[in-house]
Amino acid sequence: MLAPPLQRLVTELSKLPGIGNRTAQRLAFHMLRTSEQDAFALAEAIRDVKLKISLCEICFNLAEGPRCAICLDERRDEGVICVVEEAADVIPIERTHEFRGRYHVLGGALSPIDGVEPEDLRLAQLYARVSGLREVVLATNPTTTGEATALHIAAALHERVPEVAVTRLASGLPVGGDLEYADEVTLGRAFSGRRAL
């Protein structure tokens, strides 16, 4: 029903996560209406991201070149490494401005059910970086797989470098949240992690 080039665009857009056929069609029609300049800029940006972005050779964060901007930044604290599951997790942490150390991107979380075993994560590369550190912050997700990954790494680090502090992000009530609507696991964590005022 659609002209073939338009149908191809709808098909390609539908492959994106969270974009169904209707949205793809709406976006494709938008492309038709928008300026050639804007459309070409988007096409070019998509190509560029594949051609120019690689993984940092130190921390596996996204980089334009061999090393990422954080590993290249000499003002960052080299004594602390924050371990995250995915490169996308670096962004919300950076946004807090609470952490000035370096990162290590694991590339996932342990999940034997999905066939993700320790050797599938960038653990050897992490262990090669930890000697001489003050602290390793385990910032894997507060999910079953994220917790399991954090426990696995903590045990390995305690064995290899017992002098390095291993910490985990606090779990508890989200700021601005409402006690009434908190799930019991989160509320339980908030209790067990309560702090003196």
Residues lying near a second copy in the complex (CB under 8 A): 1-6, 8-9, 11-13, 15-19, 23, 25-32, 34, 36, 38-53, 62-64, 68-69, 86-88, 90-91, 94-95
| CB of 126 vs a second copy, minimal distance in Å | 21
- Using alpha carbons, list the distances in angstroms from residue 126 to 122, 133, 156, 162, 184: 6, 12, 11, 15, 34
| CB of 188 vs a second copy, minimal distance in Å | 29
Comparison of 46 and 165: residue with beta carbon closer to a second copy: 46
Dihedral over Cα of 118, 119, 121, 127: its sign: positive
Pairing status of strand 135-138 against strand 165-168: parallel
Phi, psi dihedrals of residue 165, rounded to the nearest 5°:
-70, 135
Comparison of 1 and 179: residue with beta carbon closer to a second copy: 1
Cα–Cα distance, 19 to 7 (Å, whole number)? 15
Comparison of 42 and 185: residue with beta carbon closer to a second copy: 42
| CB of 187 vs a second copy, minimal distance in Å | 26
81 in Cβ contact with 102 (< 8 Å): yes
| CB of 134 vs a second copy, minimal distance in Å | 24
- Bridge partners (DSSP) of residue 167 are 137
Comparison of 115 and 162: residue with beta carbon closer to a second copy: 115
Look-up of token digits 């426990």: 151
| CB of 141 vs a second copy, minimal distance in Å | 15
Q: What angle do CA 75, 76, 81 make, to 5 degrees?
A: 165
Comparison of 38 and 77: residue with beta carbon closer to a second copy: 38
Strand ranges in 93-164 using DSSP code E only, listed in sequence order: 102-105, 135-138
| CB of 113 vs a second copy, minimal distance in Å | 21
Comparison of 93 and 187: residue with beta carbon closer to a second copy: 93
Phi, psi dihedrals of residue 168, rounded to the nearest 5°:
-130, 145
